[in-house]
Amino acid sequence: MMTKITFDHCLELDAADPLAEYRSAFLLPEGLIYLDGNSLGALPAATPGVVADVVQRQWGADLIRSWTSNDWINAPLRVGAKIAGLIGAGPDEVIVGDSTSANLYKLIVAALEARPDRTIVLSEEGNFPTDLYMIHGAIATVGRGCRLETRPRETLADAITQEVALVLLTQTHYKTADKLDMAAMTARAHEAGALILWDLSHSAGAVEVDLNGAGADLAVGCGYKYLNGGPGAPAFLFVAKRHHGRLRSPLSGWMGHSSPFDFVDDYRPAEGIRRFLCGTPPILGIAALEVGVDLIARAGMARLAEKSRHLCSLMIDLVEQECDFAGLQLVTPREASRRGSHVSFRHPEGYAIVQALIEEGVIGDFRAPDILRFGFTPLYVGFADVWEAVQRLKTIMADRRWDRDDYRVRAAVT
């Protein structure tokens, strides 16, 4: 039988935590327990200064000269190379720019063109919607009978037939945190002659990823979650070096041209990963993202992933120990190696409970129809935070504090 976990034990874990010092590298409101870094990462303390410098000195004073003097022109490649180090990619295999959605589109179309005799894009039922929506948009544009097939996670591997051009999977599921075995699924795709595209939005900066170790072909990921790049931060895109020069970006903008400043009419894609750039890079967004990425790189992915596993396990154990009466059904795998860095529970009153938690200073989030989701970001969440969050959850559930009409009115998002 498991020993009972105490608050003192959590304090001991914090005292022994080699990443504890990073808490002060983030600006978070006093008293708030922020368990939503998987949706919008917290603000690094260095970001306001860096953004102010980009705005006031680089833009305001250096003006147009900054494209060279402050190396704006290479920002997508420079920050891409830093992200590469976090996901097992080579420094010349990753670029930053556009949104995750737009990057998905580029690579879905590129993959369909690389497999002209195949028509299926295979993905998971209940994958993050934009993955499925971008497949929808891409196949409707490509035509030639291309279609999307979705399967439940358990039967995905078997569905990779010789007709499949591309397998597009989110490694860490945005609701359950269930993590797919990248190496095994990649091998299975290649066995069938398909390409594979990994969406790392809920993985990058949270768990150890080894794209090249797995032999992955393509990947995209989000800048504003675990990478702490700020709201709507630019996303990233990976193409394995062996595919460089062979894949084409449908979003063939001038920044992906071999000589963008020659201003010639004919499109000639750049060599290497730069051909997947499209328009002028979003400099403010990339500058903010770089601060977040630098912090993750400094802390080190291995240490970070280890603490993530530990935090998530503690959350699962504590909810079981303290809230067993509450009817919260764990939907995240117990086995640490099989999950990302968030923990989710199912409850029919999920939305109202999340509102009550926010009122009590614990920010998690809700995913329709009934998922309570808590993200554990090792750089600014500590073990005592987990204890405290569970205590507040316990009180809310015990006192039915969620049972208020105003907590049931979902904010209209239009």
Q: Which has the closest alpha carbon to 41: 166, 202, 165?
A: 202
Please spell the DSSP secondary structure of 189-244, one letter per residue.
HHHTT-EEEEE-TTTTTTS---HHHHT--EEEE-SSSTT---TT---EEEE-GGGT
Q: Which residues are the active-site residues?
A: 128, 199, 224-225, 373
On whether the CB atoms of residues 177 and 330 are closer than 8 A, the answer is: no
Closer CB to a second copy, 186 or 341, in the complex: 341
Using CB under 8 A as the binding rule, whether residue 56 contacts a second copy is answered as yes
Q: What is the DSSP track for 131-180?
A: HHHHHHHHHHHH-TT-EEEEE-GGGTGGG--TTEEEEEEESB-TTT-BB-
6, 7, 15, 48: which one binds a second copy (CB under 8 A): 48
Q: How far apart are CA 84 and CA 172, in angstroms?
A: 18
| Binding test (CB under 8 A) with a second copy, winner from 10, 13, 47, 196 | 47
Among the residue ranges 120-128, 183-191, 324-332, 396-404, the one whose residues contact a second copy (CB under 8 A): 120-128
CA distance 95 to 150: 28
- When asked if residue 184 is in the footprint of a second copy (CB under 8 A), the reply is no
Rg (CA), the chain: 22
d(CA 353, CA 328): 11
Q: How far is the CB of 203 from a second copy (least distance, A)?
A: 17
- Binding residue for a second copy, selected from 34, 380, 387, 407, defined by CB under 8 A: 34
Picking from 297, 282, 283, the residue whose alpha carbon sits closest to that of residue 44 is 297
Which residue from 59, 193, 336, 360 is in contact with a second copy, where contact means CB under 8 A? 59
The residues in 289-348 that bind a second copy, with binding defined as CB under 8 A, are none
Interactions with a second copy, residue window 250-289 (CB under 8 A):
250-257, 260-265, 267, 274, 278-286, 288
Q: Which of 78, 163, 367, 395 binds a second copy (CB under 8 A)?
A: 367
Cα distance between residue 36 and residue 52, in whole Å: 26
Rule CB under 8 A: choose which of 234, 292, 333, 350 binds a second copy.
Answer: 234
CB nearer a second copy, residue 283 or residue 316: 283
Instruction: Determine, following the binding rule CB under 8 A, whether residue 78 of this chain makes contact with a second copy.
Output: no
* Number of residues in contact with a second copy under rule CB under 8 A: 98
The answer to whether residues 394 and 322 touch, using CB atoms and an 8 Å cutoff, is: yes
Select 47 or 344, whichever has its Cβ closest to a second copy: 47
Q: How far is the CB of 184 from a second copy (least distance, A)?
A: 24
Q: Residues 31, 368, 405, 406: which binds a second copy (CB under 8 A)?
A: 368
Q: 97, 234 in Cβ contact below 8 A? A: yes
119 touches a second copy (CB under 8 A): no
- Asked if residue 99 binds a second copy (CB under 8 A), the reply is yes
- The residue within the footprint of a second copy, chosen from 90, 137, 215, 361 (CB under 8 A), is 137
For the segment 138-157, give every residue that binds a second copy (CB under 8 A): 138, 140-144, 150
Least Å from the CB of residue 99 to a second copy: 3
Output the smallest distance, CB 336 to a second copy, in A: 25
Which helix (DSSP H) or strand (DSSP E) does residue 283 occupy? helix 283-299
List binding-site positions for pyridoxal 5'-phosphate: 100-101, 128-131, 170, 199, 202, 224, 254, 280
Inter-residue contact 17 to 9 (CB < 8 Å): no
Shortest Å, Cβ 369 to a second copy: 9
Least distance in angstroms from the C-beta of 373 to a second copy: 11
The CA distance from 251 to 196, in Å, is 20
Backbone φ and ψ of 170, nearest 5°: -90, 125
Of the two residues 43 and 297, which places its CB atom closer to a second copy in the complex?
43
What sign for the dihedral angle of Cα 133, 134, 137, 143? negative
Q: Nearer Cβ to a second copy, position 90 or 269?
A: 269
Strand spans (E) along 62-144 = 94-96, 120-124
3-state secondary structure of 378: coil
CA distances from 110 to 25, 32, 64, 90 (A): 39, 44, 33, 20
Residues making up the binding site: 100-101, 128-131, 170, 199, 202, 224, 254, 280
Instruction: Considering the complex, state which of residue 52 and residue 184 has its C-beta at the smaller distance from a second copy.
Output: 52
Order of strands, edge to edge, in the sheet holding 365-367? 329-330, 342-346, 371-375, 365-367
CB of 302 to a second copy, least distance (A): 28
